[in-house]
Amino acid sequence: MLTLFAFIVALGLLIAIHEYGHYRMAVACGVKVLRFSIGFGRTLLRWQPKGSDTEFTLCAFPLGGYVRMLDEREAPVDASERHRAFNTQPLRSRALIVVAGPVANLLLAVVLYACVNWMGVQQAAAVLGSPVVGSVAERAGLMGGERVVSAGFAEAALQTVSSFEDVRWLLTRGALEGKDVQLAVQAGQNSQSREVTLALAAMGATEADAGLFRRIGLVSPYSRAELGEVMAGGAAERAGLRKGDVVLKFGSHPVVDGAQLRGLIRASVQSNATEVSVWKVVRAGQILEITVKPDMVQDGADNIGKIGAFVGAMPELILLRYGPFDGLWQGVVKTWDVSLLTLRMMGKMVIGEASLKNLSGPLTIADYAGRSASMGITSYLIFLALISVSLGVLNLLPLPVLDGGHLMYYLWEWVTGKSMSDAWQDRFQRVGVALLAIMMCIAFFNDINRLWG
What are 269's strand-pairing partners? 274
Lowest-confidence region among 94-98, 169-173, 192-196, 208-212:
208-212
The per-residue pLDDT for range 174-210, each reduced to its tens digit, is 888 888 999 999 887 677 889 999 999 888 777 766 6
Confidence of residue 108 (pLDDT cuts 50, 70, 90): very high
Task: Give the pLDDT score at 113.
Answer: 94
- What pTM was computed for the model? 0.81
Q: What is the pLDDT of residue 309?
A: 92
Q: What is the pLDDT of residues 316-335, one digit of tens each?
A: 888 989 999 999 999 999 99
Domains defined for the chain, CATH in brackets: 90-120+323-453 (no CATH), 136-216 (2.30.42.10), 227-313 (2.30.42.10)
Confidence band of 394 (pLDDT split at 50, 70, 90)? confident
Adjacent-strand bridge partners of 69: 33
Distances (CA, A) of 255 to 132, 186, 252, 443: 13, 19, 9, 41
Q: Per-residue pLDDT averaged across 77-104, rounded?
A: 92
β-strand partners of 289: 280
> How many C-beta atoms lie closer than 10 Å to residue 366's C-beta?
19
pLDDT for the residue numbered 191: 77
Catalytic-role residue among 19, 146, 229, 275: 19
Are the C-beta atoms of residues 317 and 120 closer than 8 Å to each other?
no
State the average pLDDT over residues 61-65. Answer: 80
Please state, in angstroms and rounded to a whole number, the distance separating the CA atoms of residues 420 and 409: 7
Residue ranges with strand state E in 8-54:
33-47
Looking at the predicted structure, is the pLDDT value of residue 357 above 70? no
**Whether the predicted pLDDT of 361 surpasses 60:** no
Q: What is the mean pLDDT of the chain?
A: 86
Is the model's pLDDT at 274 over the cut of 90?
Answer: no
Q: In the predicted model, is pLDDT for residue 4 greater than 80?
A: no
Q: Does 429 or 39 have the greater pLDDT score?
A: 39
Mean pLDDT of 351-369: 62
Lowest mean pLDDT among 251-260, 326-335, 360-369, 370-379: 360-369
Higher pLDDT, 344 or 244: 244
pLDDT at 133 > cutoff 90: no
Predicted pLDDT of residue 16: 92
CB count in 10 Å sphere of residue 338: 22
**Tens digit of each residue's pLDDT (9 = 90 or more) over 402-427:** 888 889 888 888 888 888 777 777 78
Angle between helices 362-375 and 377-395 (to 10 degrees): 150
Whether 353 is catalytic is no
- Rounded mean pLDDT of 80-103? 92
Please give the Cα distance from 127 to 220 (Å, whole number): 9
Query: CA–CA separation, 177 vs 224, rounded Å?
Result: 33
